[in-house]
Structure 1
Amino acid sequence: MSHGKQFTLFTHSQTPNGTKVAIVLNILGLSYEPRYLNWQAGEIKGPEHTKYNPNGRIPTLIDHKNNDFVVWESDAILLYLVVRYDTEHKIFVATPDERASVVQWLFFQASGQGPYFGQAAWFASYHPEKIPSAIERYRKEVRRILGVLESVLDKQDWLVGGKMTVADLSFVTWNNNVGRFFEDGDFDFEKEFSKTNKWHKKMIALDGVKAAYRAMAEQANIAAKAE
């Protein structure tokens, strides 16, 4: 494995969780080499990946400037990056109370948004049979999660500390896909959750976010041509 860049990021060309790590790496100005794993070929569960991540899921990050330290689980990676490398608190916070609030939101994203949005996507688009009750359940959960965010963002611009932090950024990639979980016309992000939509748009306009999506799209095109 080449160590020309500080990090190696095991990811996939169409993954919200891998993309959010790329976003934070970009915003912090940290260099990384993406390793795009082939889902269909079993590389994500293969030995070259599971020797670093026994769970066989993506993303996985290796920090070559910290003795090849390995971190997996996307929000654990985000927390590692800001604690260790965001010394100027560009997207992190300084006080113990604020740090606890950041961790709180990362836990909410990992236990709430990620799983429920993922299941909404699965039952809407990938499950071999349509199960209306499952589709309805997870669409309701998507709206519930967005409602939690809306209730907070109705009173403040950002989740913690009066500024954009890694807590906010952790929600970007799943929220960017939210319309795909519904039938056309069944969901209007801006109308139903106006403050959350405004918050989301501010983040997707960032250069570091745009760069992560460009890289993902380029890799998806490469993968499509190789098929």
Structure 2
Amino acid sequence: MVSKNLTAAFLLFTTFLFISGSTSAVHSSPRLNATTKDLDFIRTSCNVTQYPDICFKSLAGYASTVHESPARLTKLSVDVAITKAKSTVEFLSKLSRSAPEVKDCVSYVRDAIDSMRDCLPILRNISRGGDVAAPAPSAAAPPSSEVFRWQMDDVLTYMTAATTYEETCTDEYEDEEGKLKTIVCDRVNKEKLFSSIALSLANSLANNGPSPRD
């Protein structure tokens, strides 16, 4: 059972931290040298997600780096999701000092981070036009499009695992009540928005393929 003995002062403090973090989590000012075309690409790409506004606000600041590259945009969305997850681990770790049962949730979010990190070298190489773990050149070597599908299968597997870990954390509180449940679930659910965005963009990349400049 979730402990009901947390002090009101500590709950108030952690709630304030959550609200503060949530307020800043979805805002990102576009870089001054980003073109309208760059920003439009991110806005259009974000329409495939469940949270297009949050997606755009969190990624618009990277518009000048993305340059209409679906692979770079997907990698950056994973970077953002990892950053949010690391912040959640820090938040929940502090909370676990007074509520030890939260440690399981911390472990799940850390596992989610590890899964998301596994995506990064694959997406980085795709964005550079490289083939991750591609066979040595030979007459029997698969075409690059097939290698791309293998790579994206791995990315989708890692990202799906990450979202599953996050959901496992909140599922543990399904039958609980109280402020601790609210604080933990609200925090992790906020984080899950960014993992969901990254997974949606990865799905879009897998279905549509990298752009010519990738």
Alignment TM-score, normalising by the size of structure 1: 0.36
Q: Which has the larger radius of gyration?
A: 2
Q: Relative to total residues, which structure has the larger strand share, 1 or 2?
A: 1
